[in-house]
Structure 1
């Protein structure tokens, strides 16, 4: 696959995509620069493979792999046996009813409900429901109830991650878990990661350089290891505006 000068891993919602409009227009100058220097752009998101494939085509990075469902799988993954998603739904069915009722997953919401809580179009909501590895959802209970809910799920091997909007259940795996494998396909060039939410932390700290994109819609991430020495930086503008500025700065510093 050649030896590109760098490889970029990026979250989508609230990072490369605007939180409200899902537009990446403001990031196009940096996206063009990355394409010119031949840098692989790896989308890494809680979105499904079906959703990410659409954005890959729009952005022009469909030639590269993608990290889907918060690192629970890859766009190129082929699974044997019972799909992880079916096992997740089966595990949820074994949770005490009073706790299960507090979690409203995408499986519960259906396409109309997914569209309502995400703001996606009907077509986009349908794709968001085509899950293979994980189950996002809304939590409607107390912190204590959530702890009990997660403890019950842990007994079935299910883990949970908090993203920008949803509590996402899976059988493990993070965006960072997938990075080394993908980077090795390109000769392990210097890596850059950009994200805005707690489920991006491992990816940001694993990369050679990380960018925390300002997120006015969520809690500010705490200071991460690597910030003090400047290996990880923060933008003062949100979404694709911050993404574009940070990425151009990195490219300039690398003389690319």
Structure 2
């Protein structure tokens, strides 16, 4: 990796580089090829596990770049083979087991589901859903209780050192670490001339604000992100097109503006 890197792109996956319904990314191929041609880096940053991201990274030809896994709770090094270290995840599940039952029953995490349930909830294939369950650092899930119970649930978790972040689909629990935290470490190591971050959900906001340029990719299936500070100065923009189509258009537009 060169220290004279022209651009480093940090991108969310589901609903951003991957389409919401079928998880395809071929619509973004022109921009990905252009980025490779100019020597720009692409760092995948997602709630997905290391095992999931490792497969995607190889499919996209991005295995020589680091990847941010499980919403920033972990980092996958370039060319590294993903290994499911379950120690932290087991600790997290133990904390959940000690939450009062009247609050715990409102949260259904991936560890509470079998593979078939994950398939129904996400639309993933059976093999992909199995990889999604091989978690190392975090627990995504759905909330079915009241908003008041949810506030109490989150308060109990906070007392035990667990943080919760809202994504495009799930409420994800971990012992901390964000996409922005890992992003700062990678930037410090690679020293790119410019950075761009793309995402579609609240858990992407810090990453979007931390980059030189941010792109909120339209996601008709999720709630709109509130106005971000960087939008007031034009540093952060929103796409009209959703998913990989919006991703492709945004990257091509930024490359033209940066004359790359």
Q: After the TM superposition, which segments of 4 or more aligned residues of structure 1 sit over 4 Å from their partners?
A: none
Shift of residue 84, structure 1, vs aligned partner: 1.6
Matches within 5 A, 1:40-59: 40-59=41-60
Sort the Cα spacing of 1:187 and 1:227 in 2 relative to 1 into closer, same or farther, 3 A.
Answer: same
Shift of residue 110, structure 1, vs aligned partner: 2.2
Give the secondary structure class of the aligned counterpart of 1:223: coil
Task: Please tell me whether the aligned partners of residues 86 and 135 of structure 2 are also in contact (alpha carbons under 8 angstroms).
Answer: no
2:209 is the counterpart of 1:205: yes
Matches within 5 A, 1:67-216: 67-76=68-77, 83-216=87-220
Corresponding residue for residue 60 of structure 1: 61
TM-score (norm 2): 0.95
Shift of residue 113, structure 1, vs aligned partner: 1.3
Corresponding residue for residue 7 of structure 1: 8
| Structure 2 unmatched ranges of 5 or more | none
Task: Please tell me whether the aligned partners of residues 105 and 135 of structure 1 are also in contact (alpha carbons under 8 angstroms).
Answer: yes
Give the secondary structure class of the aligned counterpart of 1:67: strand
| Structure 1 unmatched ranges of 5 or more | none
Partners of 2:17 and 2:74 lie apart in 1 by 20
Deviation readout 1:66-89 (Å, 9 max, x if unpaired):
00000111113999x982211100
The count of corresponding residues between Structure 1 and Structure 2 is: 255
TM-score (norm 1): 0.96
Deviation readout 1:36-88 (Å, 9 max, x if unpaired):
01111000000000000011011110111100000111113999x98221110
